[in-house]
Copies of this chain bind each other. A is one copy, B any other.
Amino acid sequence: MKTKDLILITALNLFSERGYDGVSMRELAAAVGIKAASIYNHFSSKEEIFNSLLAEMQNRYEKIVHTVSIPTGTSKEAAIQYVGISEERLQQIAGELFLYFAKDEFAAPFRKMITSEQYRNSDAGDIFSQMFINGALEYQTELFKNLIEQGEFIDADPEIIALHFYSPIFLLLAKYDETREQNIMEKLYKHVSQFSKLYVKRCG
């Protein structure tokens, strides 16, 4: 792996555990296997490493959004693919979203890092909000709005449905960081199953 990428991934993992201010350039360099001064052959400052991590995550996130069912900003036509929504499809959406941010080698530590830095750095705060709060909710609100119009879902406030679908995923991610427990996927599954029971219209 190129040194520059190695610096980035190492910094991400260190920042996610100890915070941006809790990691010195010397520690980062040692973890990479070089001296601190050598980092400056690849990045102009510590802050630039952090900013590169934000940019890298946004790149990866957009790519993921375009290939799977991870939520992004508003997107009307994306909802069309959910005609004839099934509990299995909802399970898939929730499962992919959860696993990506729980176990992906970049996304998982990034989520920890951005959670820790959200109040300190305003760029981090914006990304945290866009990626884990407002962006996710807005996308899913649009999705459920369409599903209601199509008669797939019971008639209720789509914003609240999105909140009821997404917020357990959000909380289970925080829970996963701490316990690493195995049966957390089972909890996720049960959540979606119950959500489906409550909101998806019985057909026939």
The chain A residues found within 8 Å of chain B, CB to CB, are: 16-22, 112, 115-120, 125, 128-129, 132-134, 156-157, 159-160, 163-164, 166-168, 170-172, 174-175, 177-179, 187, 190-191, 194-195, 198
Q: Chain A: interface secondary structure?
A: helix
Q: Which residues of chain B are within 8 angstroms of A168 by Cβ–Cβ distance? A: 163-164, 167
For A177, the chain B residues whose CB sits under 8 A away are 118-119
Shortest A164–chain B CB gap in Å is 6
Bound CA–CA A164/B161 (angstroms): 11
- Contacts A133-B178, A156-B194, A157-B190 given; indicate if A120 touches B164 (C-beta within 8 A): no
Q: In the bound complex, what is the Cα–Cα distance between A171 and B164 (angstroms)?
A: 10
